[in-house]
Amino acid sequence: MNSVNMFSPIVKSLLVALLAVSATASAAPKIDPAKGASLFTDGDAARGLPACVSCHGAGGNSTITVNPKLAGQHEAYLYKQLVNFTTADRNQPVMTTYAKMLTDEEKHNIAAWLVTQKPNPGAAKNKDTVELGKKIYRGGIAEKSVPACASCHGATGAGIPVQYPRIAGQHQDYTVAELGLFKAGTRKSLEMAPIAKRMSDEEMKAVADYMAGLK
């Protein structure tokens, strides 16, 4: 038997795989953080797209406590959320409107720029609940089957790219609001929704305040 003919199916399969990888690589967006910075800072008046800075602050450090700080957030997570805003997974009146106006490449560009920005630190404010918040964050609530927040978001709140966001220093008001959305099922998540449903409002506020002081 001719050895070339015997191995030709294998060779063909490898060639097909290599071509597929090559096509995927060439189709990947060319990420440009500088363009992301421009959109974040100036928006695009021609499309009626406002500057992200108006809600999320200079460099992604929001001073409006109901709007999240985005500086230093994981690039892949930010991109994923911008995509989610265009689906039923995270429908939100303001962000859904603007996320749908962005191209896929622009979503990547904004996320790539924000991850390079230095987040301003936050601080816990309620001394009466900080120990409860610390206990929930580090050890969870065993009797309610609530796992430790640290098990996914890390001991310092740094998170894990794509899956779990950086939550250190985040505004208390924003964190409490998002936990409420998870609890109500308005924001979809197979992991956070069941956890939030087992928590009381007081527990949410306590852990949100503790998280705000993480660095």
Question: With helix as H, strand as E and coil as C, how does 55-107 read?
Answer: HHCHHHCCCCCCCCCCCCCCHHHHHHHHHHCCCHHHCCHHHHHHHCCCCHHHH
**One domain, residues 106 and 139:** no
Domain boundary among 115, 137, 158: 115
Q: Indicate left, alpha or beta for 28 from its phi (over 0: left) and psi (-120 to 50: alpha).
A: beta
Backbone angles phi, psi at 122, to 5 degrees: -110, -165
Contact between 77 and 159 (Cβ < 8 Å)? yes
Structurally, how many domains does the chain consist of? 2
The pLDDT of residue 28: 66
Query: Does 56 carry a binding-site annotation?
Result: yes
CATH number at residue 83: 1.10.760.10
The pLDDT of residue 22: 47
CA distances from 187 to 137, 179, 191, 206 (A): 21, 9, 11, 21
Which residue ranges in the chain fall short of pLDDT 70? 1-28
Contact between 147 and 140 (Cβ < 8 Å)? yes
Query: Does 95 carry a binding-site annotation?
Result: yes
Residue 41 within any structural domain of the chain: yes
**One domain, residues 95 and 133:** no
Q: 191: number of CA atoms within 13 Å, CB side?
A: 8
**Would you state the structure tokens that stand for residue 106, as one six-digit string?**
């622009």
Residue 154 within any structural domain of the chain: yes
**One domain, residues 96 and 151:** no
Residue 165 within any structural domain of the chain: yes
**One domain, residues 85 and 107:** yes
CA distances from 89 to 80, 85, 105 (A): 11, 7, 20
Residue 91 within any structural domain of the chain: yes
Residue 54 within any structural domain of the chain: yes
Query: Does 1 carry a binding-site annotation?
Result: no
The pLDDT of residue 21: 44
Residue 106's domain comprises 33-115
Residue 151 within any structural domain of the chain: yes
Query: Does 153 carry a binding-site annotation?
Result: yes
The pLDDT of residue 27: 57
Query: Does 149 carry a binding-site annotation?
Result: yes
Query: Does 6 carry a binding-site annotation?
Result: no
For residues 99-123, b (16+ Cβ closer than 10 Å) or e, as one string?
beebeeebbbbbbbbbbebebbebe
The pLDDT of residue 162: 87
